[in-house]
A and B are shown apart, each in its own frame.
Chain A
Amino acid sequence: MGKENPAEKALNLIRGRLCDPTFVFRPLSGPPDSNYSKLKFIVSTSITEGCNNSILLLGPRGSGKAAVLDLVVGDLMEEYPDSVTLIRLNGLLHSEDNCAFKEIARQLCMEHHLLFSKMASFDENSQFIIAMLRECGLAHKTIIFVLDEFDMFAQASGKQRLLYSLLDAMQSVTSQAVVVGISSRLDADQLLEKRVRSRFSHRKILFLPPSREEIDSLLEHLLSLPADSSFPSGYVTQFNEKIKNITSDTRFKDMLKTFLNANSTVNSLLKFIFRAVSSMNLESGLLSLENFKTALSSMLRQPKLEAVRDCSILELYLLVCMRRLEVKEQSSYNFISVMKEYKTIHDSFQTSDFYAQNVCLRAFEHLREREVICYAENRGQSQAGEYRPMKLLISASELHQGMRSHACCPAILLKLLDH
């Protein structure tokens, strides 16, 4: 392996960090009132004191609920080896009771090195689970049940049998278990039946988007290179200096604000940084503001707008004609009526762009391929393409914006659109 370019190494290191949720969420777990500490406190008291608990993690998608839970569980497994068994269920896969019990039994068997039989019936599985709960309770081992997509468990079957059995088992003295539900629906506990809700302990941890200070510290944590020997030291200081300059630049702050106004979860922020870092100039080996600009524009893409921007003038004419027909309250129109409108415009404004029908038909087909327009109904396939009703797939404002940013859109078209 030859000498690796330090820029490439730095790129790999940062990209590796961004893809590792443990690294990303570690600094967010420092402060004592963070979600990490709250969760850890509850689960560790259950382990040490042997009392049962149930808890719900709520927050929008991509806010790090599963990642923080994994962090907590990983740390606890290190602190208390052999005292923790983890069972994972997912609401999308295991919402049906039979399936869920089978999965729990299978995971328990795997943990304790027992043979699992696929032929076991529902009764046998549930008795096995109860027996295991009792055994683990006596042996002072805690079982942590993680129920991902908790709201699917509550909605799927009317009986909510799995939830009832788990939560009821926790009401008994002999078992030692924690049930952690993860959901993105805020009213997940309202979906529970009243019996199940009564047995649920109503602890909720809300995962909110990070504040500005947290984002700043997160950026620093992710993008600063460590000062270890694998990098040339001058390079490290240069790199970190540049990062500091960028993050304190007001333009960067504005960019970040625009981005966060659309979606503010940690996951989307990570994607944004990943794109910026991937477009780093490998020769200079330093990040720049341009990288972040390209990342922002690529994340806030508007595909339909780009389609309009790439249209030819004739295609723009056709789009404007269709829009005018819509404005005139003509609910359905086809190629022939669009051509009529086109001719009317040409006659009244004496434009120079007047093309024959077959050329226009080809332009029409282009527009349809790009999915800017489409057939209004799927029936009537036997009709010729010219007589089938069409409709626009973009809104008036998008058309307007696209035309304004078009390289050489004739002014008359804009006037016609506003007319």
Chain B
Amino acid sequence: MPTIAGPSLSPHKRIVAARSENTGCPRSAEDITPRKRKLRSDSAAAVPTPIKRKSPRRCALMAEVEEEPNGMLETQFDCLDGKSKWNPRDDDQMKAVKEALHVSTAPSTVVCREDEQRRALEFVKGCMEQNKAGSLYICGCPGTGKSLSMEKLRLQAEDWAKQEGLPCLETVSVNCMSLTKTTDIFSKVRPCAIQIPPSSWLIIADEMDYLITRDRRVLHELFMLTTLPLSRCILIGVANAIDLADRFLPKLKSLNCKPLVVTFRAYSMQQIVRILQERLVELPYVAFQPKALELCARKVSAASGDMRKALSVCRSALEILETEVKGSTDEEPQIPVPEDQMVKMDHMVAALAKTFKSPVVDTIQSLPQHQQIIVCSAAKAFRGSKKDRTTAELNNLYMEICKSSMITPAGITEFTNMCTVLNDQGILKLSQARNDKLKRVSLRVDEADITFALKEIRFFRNCLL
């Protein structure tokens, strides 16, 4: 099982521990061993190896539900009725839910990517059966499950090779970010290449766009490995750019070894909900209101379709609930636990606001008055086509506004200092110049944000008219 590339195994890959057998017996909440041992155990105890999650207990109802993608939401939720109530005050239960939603918890089956995985696996199987070489290119936005699927694929391919009695499949997994020089990838790959008797070997190159150099030599040579005679190398490259193969490897087309491209699209709303449900299905209690999960999925899929973000938002909502619950405990321990404590819509709304809100509006509202006037004058100055001005011109505008409202303007040194402070915060942009007065200023923040932030104050409202 251990891959050939022991020390060269990408350190940043998720380390999948020793496979444990799939037990058929269902597990209850108490049996699910926490991934890390409890803090209170004494440090003298032996360090346990991280235990891989067992396959989720599937109730018979769910197995039938799997086939129909539509109407899935309702039937899955029906199944949840049978679960017990969740007590968020219980630390263990809260911890279990948080772990289920953590990004590093690798689910045992990768849902919503069955199609892509199937295609990739068939390709690899085909190559192995015919003792051929081949290349595959996986592309997609960050957070769409590419690395996760490739890990699963690797294990599946190895299993299959054993089953079919084919010679053992050697695999190398490299994260190209961790290479000091791009040519180092070949030294990592070399142990695989020299084998007797020759058998198929699989290379998974993650973050492959880091191998792009000006003359594209390394990338070409890597893909050329598959074209060498008698080569049995199966190369899988993973990156974000959809057209990497077309843009950077035109030579390959002429050599007729263009890689097969599998695109991992960003997750849609239904897919995100399904994945979240999948993670929560093991727990014997209902932690999230279905509508809350739907809202989260809708917002995240509209924004980027990034699964990590969805998980992060859910965990954030959990924490909001936790502070709410713990907070009320501190005040009055006499109040009985209200029924139906779960993550509801308002928690999710607050979590989404926290994640997607930019801090610009808050900061502008809390700036000292003179700095607000400067921001205001900058907004007025850059309304037209002119996108940058000198500090001296901005100073004139600033003084006009101050004079019109009988505020004593700050001197030019103070003004330049305040501009520097605003530059530090990322609201203005100051260029370098020898003379202070000749520095060019431009606005980094949208004018609409400024208007929104200052709308409460009548003075600025009139100013920005």
- A-to-B contact residues, CB < 8 Å: 32, 41-42, 45, 48-52, 58-61, 83, 122-123, 126-127, 130, 134, 137-140, 159, 161, 164-165, 168-174, 176, 184-188, 194-195, 197-199, 201-204, 206, 208-209, 260-264, 300, 302-305, 395, 397-398
State A51–B100 Cα separation when bound (angstroms): 11
Question: What B residues does A164 contact at CB under 8 A?
Answer: 177
State A272–B327 Cα separation when bound (angstroms): 37
Question: What B residues does A171 contact at CB under 8 A?
Answer: 12, 14, 103-104
A122 close to B180 (CB less than 8 A)? yes
Smallest Cβ distance from A277 to chain B, in angstroms?
Answer: 23
B413 close to A303 (CB less than 8 A)? yes
State which of A165, A173, A198 has its C-beta within 8 Å of the C-beta of B306. Answer: A198
Question: What A residues does B178 contact at CB under 8 A?
Answer: 126, 165
Question: What A residues does B36 contact at CB under 8 A?
Answer: 50, 137, 140, 176
Report if A123-B180 is in contact (Cβ < 8 Å); known contacts: A32-B327, A140-B37, A206-B359.
Answer: yes
Question: What B residues does A197 contact at CB under 8 A?
Answer: 142
Judged by a CB distance under 8 angstroms, whether B412 is at the interface is: yes
Question: What A residues does B65 contact at CB under 8 A?
Answer: none
Report if A187-B105 is in contact (Cβ < 8 Å); known contacts: A126-B11, A201-B312.
Answer: no
Q: A194-B240, A202-B312, A304-B412 are in contact. List 15 more A-B contacts (CB 8 A).
A: A42-B319, A45-B98, A49-B95, A126-B11, A140-B36, A140-B43, A172-B14, A172-B15, A184-B425, A185-B424, A186-B360, A187-B360, A194-B141, A195-B142, A303-B413
State A176–B47 Cα separation when bound (angstroms): 15
Report if A203-B104 is in contact (Cβ < 8 Å); known contacts: A165-B178, A398-B411.
Answer: no
Q: List 14 A-B contacts (CB under 8 A).
A: A51-B102, A58-B359, A60-B363, A171-B104, A172-B15, A172-B104, A188-B426, A198-B143, A198-B309, A199-B142, A206-B363, A261-B368, A264-B368, A303-B413
Question: What B residues does A184 contact at CB under 8 A?
Answer: 424-425
Q: Can you name the residue of chain B whose Cβ is closest to the Cβ of A129?
A: B11
Smallest Cβ distance from B349 to chain A, in angstroms?
Answer: 16
Question: What B residues does A263 contact at CB under 8 A?
Answer: 368, 418, 421
Judged by a CB distance under 8 angstroms, whether B439 is at the interface is: no
Which chain B residues in 153-169 approach chain A with CB under 8 Å?
A: none
Number of contacts between A and B (CB, 8 Å)? 156
Question: What A residues does B411 contact at CB under 8 A?
Answer: 302, 304-305, 398
State which of B99, B104, B177, B362 has its C-beta within 8 Å of the C-beta of A161. Answer: B177
Judged by a CB distance under 8 angstroms, whether B204 is at the interface is: no
B435-448 vs A: 1/0 string, CB under 8 Å?
Answer: 00000000010000
Smallest Cβ distance from B20 to chain A, in angstroms?
Answer: 14
State A224–B230 Cα separation when bound (angstroms): 85
State A43–B145 Cα separation when bound (angstroms): 27
Report if A261-B98 is in contact (Cβ < 8 Å); known contacts: A41-B319, A172-B13.
Answer: no
Question: What B residues does A83 contact at CB under 8 A?
Answer: 39
- B-to-A contact residues, CB < 8 Å: 7, 11-15, 35-37, 39, 43, 47, 50, 95, 98-99, 102-106, 141-143, 175, 177-178, 180, 207, 210, 240, 306, 308-309, 312, 316, 319, 323, 327, 354-355, 358-360, 362-363, 366-370, 399, 410-414, 418, 421, 424-427, 444
A195 close to B207 (CB less than 8 A)? yes
Question: What B residues does A127 contact at CB under 8 A?
Answer: 7, 11
Residue of B11, B207, B367, B444 most packed against chain A (CB within 10 A): B11
Q: Can you name the residue of chain B whose Cβ is closest to the Cβ of A174?
A: B15
Question: What A residues does B327 contact at CB under 8 A?
Answer: 32
A173 close to B362 (CB less than 8 A)? no
Smallest Cβ distance from A45 to chain B, in angstroms?
Answer: 8
B358 close to A262 (CB less than 8 A)? no
Question: What B residues does A126 contact at CB under 8 A?
Answer: 11, 178
Question: What B residues does A198 contact at CB under 8 A?
Answer: 142-143, 306, 308-309
State which of B47, B103, B240 has its C-beta within 8 Å of the C-beta of A138. Answer: B47
Question: What A residues does B98 contact at CB under 8 A?
Answer: 45, 49, 51
A61 close to B142 (CB less than 8 A)? no
State A61–B371 Cα separation when bound (angstroms): 14
State which of B50, B105, B413 has its C-beta within 8 Å of the C-beta of A302. Answer: B413
Closest 5 CB pairs of A and B: A198-B142, A130-B11, A185-B426, A264-B368, A50-B36
State A80–B322 Cα separation when bound (angstroms): 21
Question: What A residues does B12 contact at CB under 8 A?
Answer: 130, 165, 168-169, 171-172
State A170–B367 Cα separation when bound (angstroms): 35
A159 close to B210 (CB less than 8 A)? yes
A61 close to B421 (CB less than 8 A)? yes
State A169–B362 Cα separation when bound (angstroms): 32
Residue of A41, A61, A159, A395 most packed against chain B (CB within 10 A): A395
A139 close to B43 (CB less than 8 A)? yes
Question: What A residues does B180 contact at CB under 8 A?
Answer: 122-123
A173 close to B427 (CB less than 8 A)? no
Question: What A residues does B106 contact at CB under 8 A?
Answer: 173
Q: Can you name the residue of chain A whose Cβ is closest to the Cβ of B363?
A: A186
Residue of B177, B180, B327, B368 most packed against chain A (CB within 10 A): B368
Question: What A residues does B358 contact at CB under 8 A?
Answer: 186-187
B47 close to A60 (CB less than 8 A)? no
A165 close to B50 (CB less than 8 A)? no
B414 close to A262 (CB less than 8 A)? yes
B426 close to A186 (CB less than 8 A)? yes
Report if A50-B35 is in contact (Cβ < 8 Å); known contacts: A41-B323, A60-B425, A171-B104.
Answer: yes
Question: What B residues does A140 contact at CB under 8 A?
Answer: 36-37, 39, 43
Q: Can you name the residue of chain A whose Cβ is closest to the Cβ of B366?
A: A208
Question: What A residues does B141 contact at CB under 8 A?
Answer: 194
